[in-house]
Structures are given as C-alpha cells and as structure tokens.
Amino acid sequence: MRKPTLEEVAIEAGVSKMTASRALRGSADVSKETRERVIEAATRMSYVGNRLALSLSSQRTNLVAVVVPSMSNIVFPEVLAGISAGLDGSGMQAVFGISDYDVAKERDIIRDMLSWQPCAIIVTGLDQPEETVKLLQHANIPVIQLMDLDGTPIDLNVGLSHGGAGEDMARALVGAGRRRFGYVGSALEKDLRAGKRKAGFERVLHSYGLHFVNQSVDDAFSSIALGKRLTLAMLAAVPDLDCIYYSNDDMASGGLFACMELGVAVPEKILIAGFNGLDLVNSLPAPIATSRSPRRAMGEVAAQLVRQAVAGAQDARQKTVVFKPVITGIDGYDDAPDEPETARLRP
C-alpha cells in the first residue's frame, strides 16, 4: 500500500495532474467546483504531497539549515526557538544540526545540510576553518553567522561582541571597587566565545594594572556542579578574592552555591559575575552580575534576515546586526536605564 501520488488523486477526481496540483495549492484559476472535488479526493485518500518532487521540480525549497554546537546548554535551544518562531508563517522550516563543538563534525553536517538545497543557512560563530567557509560560499545562498561579531563575516552577521562583553564587565566590576579577581571557566578551547570574553576581561584588567589572581579552567563543559566544585577549590587556595568572573551563568551559579556553602557573603565579600542573563539568575538567593545576551532575539532577527534575503531584497546581504548585552546585578551600576536590546545595523 504505497502512498497516493498527485496523479492518483487527479484520476480519482477526474481531472489532470496539473489541475489537481493547482487546486491543492490554491491557485486562483480553478473552478470552485473542480477545486472542491480535488480537495475532497485528496482528503479522502490522506494525500500528502511529496516535497522532494516539489522542490526538485520548482528549484526552490523552504528549508533553512541551522547548525549549533550543543543542545546541553539552554542558550542554543533558546536561539533555535527564536529562529523557529521568526520563521513562522513564512512557509519556511528550520532544520537543526548539532556539531558538538567539533569543527570536523560541523563541516560534515554543513555539507550534508547543503545537499538538501536549503534556501539559507545559519551557523554559530565566525570561527569556521577555511574549508567550511568555502563550502558555505559555494552554496550560493544567504549565510548567517550567529551569536558572535568578533571576526570576519562571510555574508550576514548577527550577534554581539564577546570580547567587548568581557571588557564591559571588567570595567563595571573595577568601577564597583573590586580589585582581587579570580577566573573560573571550562572548555575554553571549544567554547571560543567564552575565551573571547575572558580575553576582553583581561585586556581591561591589565589597563588598570590588575590581573587574575587565580584561574581555574576545566576541560569539561560548563555546568552548575562544575562551577561549584572549581569555586570551592579556588576559595580554599585563595580565600581573599573579592570577585570571580565565570565563563557563563551556569558556572557562576555554581560559584554562588559554593560561597553559600562556605558562608562567604555574596556580593559583600565576593562578587560573582557570569554571562548570559539566564532566567535562573533572577531567582537566585543572592545577586550575581551578568551580561544579558538576547538569545531569542538574535534567533528572531536571523530569521527576519533570512526572510528578507530569500525574498530577494538585494540590500539584505552583507549586513551586520549588532546586539549590545546589558549588564545587571552590580549595585549602583544597573541603575542605568535598562535600554531594550536594540539591533543596530552596520552596512
């Protein structure tokens, strides 16, 4: 029992393939009566069109390929949700792939996705190796690099400067009077954006004649448990820190829990600073500093750009959309008007 084809529906309805096709797609020039007969037949036979044939024939697809490094960190699913929502109603459909922070796997996934002839592709970050860049360029479709701005974009670019985010946070913390800094991170050789934040943070520290008094970086991926463990160890070795910068909010939350366990006052004695602005942070028993990254919004904006570019707007290529993260959780700092995370265009 094979699935019915358009031809079978057409025969059932007593019309030609073409008329059936038009009726099903809601083309204007089909008599109401014919249309109803076709639709009735299709419904009765549980007809589902074959998109492979449709796309092959019409030379266009509704697929938007998306490649993210991980699903274990809530930030990427949030971006995907933004993309998916932003595509809603466009007739386009996002297809996701996971690279596990592995450049070779990323290349293979991108190659595989391109073979489905997507109408656009969205990848994470700007640090693809040359071979992958070539693949992307040869695809001849809009390419969006998402979440990061620190690098040279291929085509469209939507994100925030992680180096800048690290710098801003360092300035804010030094401005809040902190001087003895620790750093707790994880998987920096894989999560390049976390590395860029750290580098930016250190640039500013150095400009003030300061430095990380202690650093602890683990190979494992970030988690609350890891942040807690590394922080307990660090505070045992260097109890007199007054601020710890973490690779992200998961790690930072673990750091807070470590401080609570040790009876260290947060933020009075030690200020905890992370990155992302997770929902979690707003409910924690003590305030921690963070840069809010507009993850869902970045996904939605990327989806908008895809829609424009696919619609053929010629000015919808080679653009950069800049998001500016907002720092919260530092007393006397985030009194600044919480400006909406607006997107600025840079031609």
Partner DNA sequence: TTGAAAGCGCTAACAG
Partner DNA sequence: CTGTTAGCGCTTTCAA
Our CB check for DNA shows the closer of 24 and 126 to be: 24
- The 3-state DSSP composition of the chain as helix, strand, coil percent (nearest 5) reads 45, 20, 35
**C-alpha dihedral, 72 to 78 to 81 to 86, nearest 10°:** -150
C-alpha 300/C-alpha 302 separation (Å) is 5
Using rule CB under 8 A, residue 262 touches a second copy: no
Question: Rounded to an integer, what is the distance from CA 79 to the centroid of its chain?
Answer: 4
- CA distances, 215 to each of 141, 238, 245, 255 (Å): 43, 10, 10, 13
Among 1, 26, 46, 58, binds DNA (CB under 7 A): 58
Question: 280 is in the binding site of which of DNA, a second copy, none (Cβ under 5 to 8 A by kind)?
Answer: a second copy
Closest approach of DNA to the CB of residue 114, in Å: 12
Using rule CB under 7 A, residue 54 touches DNA: yes
Site stretch for DNA (CB under 7 A), options 24-32, 174-182, 185-193, 204-212: 24-32
Using rule CB under 8 A, residue 277 touches a second copy: no
C-alpha 183/C-alpha 166 separation (Å) is 12
* Residue ranges in 239-258 that form contacts with a second copy under rule CB under 8 A: 253-254, 257
Among 24, 42, 96, 196, binds a second copy (CB under 8 A): 96
For 44, half-sphere exposure in the C-beta direction (CA atoms, 13 angstrom radius) is 11
Using rule CB under 7 A, residue 30 touches DNA: yes
* Maximum C-alpha span of the chain: 85
Among 138, 312, 337, 346, binds a second copy (CB under 8 A): 138
Using rule CB under 8 A, residue 284 touches a second copy: yes
Using rule CB under 7 A, residue 342 touches DNA: no
Of the candidates 273, 271, 270, the one whose C-alpha atom is nearest the C-alpha of residue 246 is 273
The answer to whether 157 and 321 are in contact (CB under 8 A) is yes
C-alpha 121/C-alpha 64 separation (Å) is 6
The answer to whether 193 and 202 are in contact (CB under 8 A) is no
* Residue ranges in 60-79 that form contacts with a second copy under rule CB under 8 A: 61, 70-72, 74, 76-78
Site stretch for DNA (CB under 7 A), options 52-60, 186-194, 203-211, 231-239: 52-60
* Residue ranges in 195-234 that form contacts with a second copy under rule CB under 8 A: 223-225, 227-228
- CA distances, 105 to each of 99, 108, 154, 244 (Å): 5, 5, 20, 34
* Residue ranges in 161-220 that form contacts with DNA under rule CB under 7 A: none
| Residue 212 tokens, joined | 């990380």
Burial of 17 (0-12, 13-18, 19+ CB in 10 A): middle
Using rule CB under 7 A, residue 42 touches DNA: no
Site stretch for a second copy (CB under 8 A), options 94-102, 180-188, 202-210, 313-321: 94-102
Give residues in contact with a second copy (CB under 8 A): 1-3, 46, 48-56, 61, 70-72, 74, 76-78, 80-81, 84, 93-98, 111-112, 114-117, 134-135, 138-140, 223-225, 227-228, 253-254, 257, 260-261, 279-280, 282-285
Give residues in contact with DNA (CB under 7 A): 2, 5-7, 15-19, 21-22, 24-25, 28-35, 49-50, 53-54, 56-59
